[in-house]
A and B are shown apart, each in its own frame.
Chain A
Amino acid sequence: MATAAAQKRASGWANHLGRRRAVRRLRSGLPVIASFVFVLIVWDLVAATKLFPPSAVPSPGDVFARAWNMIWHPYGTTTLEGHAAISIGRVLAGYLLGCVAGLAIGILMKLKPITRYVLEPIFSFLRPIPAFGFITVLIIWLGIGESPKIALIFIGVVAPMTIYTVTAMDALPPDLDDAARSLGANGRQVLLKVRLPAALPDILIGMRVLLALAWTSVMGAELIAADSGLGWSIWNGMRYLQTDVIFVGVITIAVIGAAMDGLLIAVTVRLTGGWKARMRGRE
């Protein structure tokens, strides 16, 4: 079939683009590694001058030793990887639920304008409130278990995800809309088969922003009424002036956050690479 050939050609394009992207990423990664080494050296030098006590500026060696210790011996309720697993679980649960719900609400708002009429003002009211502002209310409603923490991340993700979905679906190039309609598609078909796929790249970009936001939210969720998680480790380190623990927590979150971000980029390229290549072929 002609479409199969076109698809094959498109995926060939995507692979080609992917490879070029990989080379570019490697080349653009070098300055980041260099800056990392630079920061590490400056940090070690500053710590070595002993201008600041180790409780303020622990050396990179201190931080590594603390991390090593936390891997083998529990810090609080569990080990470093235990805290990491707990935080990752909370982030993933709240983030994925929030993305799915936001996508569903966004599509509903496009399908049924009345829902948009009602929900848009409510979202505009909720938008200026950072998710962790709700932490105390959520604890009163849901207790001190996992549910208020996951709900907190969910709240932070769902409202912007809805807005991203609606905005992305609003921004369909008029010629695509016309083309679909002239081929006999009705409003609902245009919405679900043209608008939604065309909006996917923009929605995925929004999801990248929200993943970073979810990691900020989990730190808020683990601030109050928590006894585990990377955020809890950081706050506990702050309360007991264990600055090395703070650094271990911050660096672990940064590494996991960057890895999840990279994963999401890979998914984005896989999902929309062929789509973009087809768009390019159309031009």
Chain B
Amino acid sequence: MFRSLGRHLAVFAAVILLWEAATLVFAPSSIALPSPVMVFQALVQMGQFGFNGVPLQDHIGITFLRIVEAFAASLLVGVPLGFAMGSIPLIRKVVTPFITLFRPVPPFAWLAIFVVWFGIGELPKVLLIFVGSVTIIALNSMDGMLRVPAEFRDAAATLGASRFQVFWHVMPIAALPQILTGARVALVVAWTSVIAAELVAAQSGIGVIILQSAGFLRTDQTFAGLILLSLCGGLTDTVMGQLQARTAAWGNR
């Protein structure tokens, strides 16, 4: 990631220059295509005066808060559920068909039901993110559990570990790379869900900037919102990627 930073910056600089040149040459209306300078100004302006009376950092903060709350909840539920499914065949056989049954429902579709049930507060948004990510984390935790090499368990048992100690001390560590793989995918889905929730019914958040700015025909602010979204989503994904890289040493592959 960081090795190719220079290359990324070079390409982004080239794209921004081309974009600026294109807006100078073709002079489109700023509603259709604002220039990069205008987008940057919109970003600075939102930083100073906020958007819709809410400071910019609060928009970003509430989006992050929703993600963190839902992500923590899906880890707390998903990992133990996955472990239970991985170690007790009966639980696996009972839970899996339900996951199969509900999988074809797009996460977006849950949102309409949650809004009807829980209104437009924080709960339906956090719940939507939770529903989208918990199955991914549970399935990956189960998979990680099932794919722990038998030698690991045997080695621990040979050294005198009890069955509980193997389950408690060996399995979670051995399954960690797979759990983190699931968590990384789930986090991407979480970003999708939070923007979906904020487009449908919200007062603040990055998704609200993207939606409402377009309503005021402030495309420069929409672009600024999309760039913010890419940076924030990219940031969390990079952090997860680094965590993954650190555990990859004892990964399955």
Docked complex Cα distance between A115 and B106 (Å)? 34
For residues 73 through 130 of chain B, which have their beta carbon under 8 Å from a beta carbon of chain A?
A: 93, 96-98, 100-110, 112-113, 115-117
19 new A-B pairs (CB below 8 Å) besides A36-B101, A133-B210, A140-B219? A31-B96, A32-B101, A121-B7, A121-B11, A126-B230, A128-B188, A128-B229, A129-B226, A133-B195, A134-B226, A137-B222, A139-B214, A215-B106, A216-B108, A223-B200, A224-B199, A250-B110, A253-B104, A253-B105
| Number of residue pairs spanning A and B whose beta carbons lie under 8 angstroms apart | 137
The one of A124, A132, A231 that contacts B195, using a Cβ cutoff of 8 Å: A132
B8 at the interface (CB under 8 A from A): yes
With A121-B8, A137-B222, A246-B113 known to touch, is A128 a contact of B104 (CB < 8 Å)?
Answer: no
A179 at the interface (CB under 8 A from B): no
Q: A216, B192: Cβ atoms under 8 Å? A: yes
Docked complex Cα distance between A127 and B232 (Å)? 12
CB distance from A246 to the nearest CB of B (A): 5
Those 4 A-B pairs whose CB atoms lie nearest each other, nearest first = A128-B233, A136-B214, A31-B97, A35-B97
Q: Provide the residues of chain A in CB contact with B200, threshold 8 Å.
A: 223, 235, 238
Q: Provide the residues of chain B in CB contact with A271, threshold 8 Å.
A: none
A22 at the interface (CB under 8 A from B): no
With A31-B96, A32-B97, A216-B106 known to touch, is A237 a contact of B112 (CB < 8 Å)?
Answer: yes
Q: Provide the residues of chain A in CB contact with B192, threshold 8 Å.
A: 130, 216
The one of B113, B222, B230 that contacts A243, using a Cβ cutoff of 8 Å: B113
Q: A130, B116: Cβ atoms under 8 Å? A: no
Q: B191, A250: Cβ atoms under 8 Å? A: no
**Residue of chain A at shortest CB distance from B110:** A250
Please indicate which of the listed interface residues B15, B96, B199, B229 has the most CB atoms of chain A within 10 Å of its own CB.
Answer: B199
Q: A238, B98: Cβ atoms under 8 Å? A: no
Q: B219, A125: Cβ atoms under 8 Å? A: no
B196 at the interface (CB under 8 A from A): yes
Q: A253, B101: Cβ atoms under 8 Å? A: no
Q: Provide the residues of chain A in CB contact with B195, threshold 8 Å.
A: 130, 132-133
Q: B196, A220: Cβ atoms under 8 Å? A: yes
Q: B32, A141: Cβ atoms under 8 Å? A: yes
**Residue of chain B at shortest CB distance from A219:** B108
Interface string of B24-54 (1 = CB under 8 A from A): 0000000110000000000000000000000
A241 at the interface (CB under 8 A from B): yes
Q: A140, B112: Cβ atoms under 8 Å? A: no
The one of A36, A125, A141, A238 that contacts B12, using a Cβ cutoff of 8 Å: A125
- How large, as a class, is the contact surface on chain B? 35 or more
With A31-B93, A133-B195 known to touch, is A250 a contact of B105 (CB < 8 Å)?
Answer: yes
Q: Provide the residues of chain B in CB contact with A136, threshold 8 Å.
A: 210-211, 213-215, 222
B61 at the interface (CB under 8 A from A): no
The one of B100, B101, B116, B199 that contacts A56, using a Cβ cutoff of 8 Å: B116
Docked complex Cα distance between A55 and B115 (Å)? 12
The one of B14, B31, B106, B191 that contacts A130, using a Cβ cutoff of 8 Å: B191
Q: Provide the residues of chain B in CB contact with A257, threshold 8 Å.
A: 104-106
Docked complex Cα distance between A259 and B199 (Å)? 29
- Can you report 10 residue pairs joining A to B where beta carbons are below 8 Å apart? A117-B11, A128-B233, A129-B233, A132-B199, A136-B214, A140-B214, A215-B106, A249-B109, A250-B105, A257-B104
CB distance from A214 to the nearest CB of B (A): 9
Q: A246, B219: Cβ atoms under 8 Å? A: no
Q: A234, B196: Cβ atoms under 8 Å? A: no
Q: Provide the residues of chain A in CB contact with B143, threshold 8 Å.
A: none
**Residue of chain B at shortest CB distance from A156:** B192
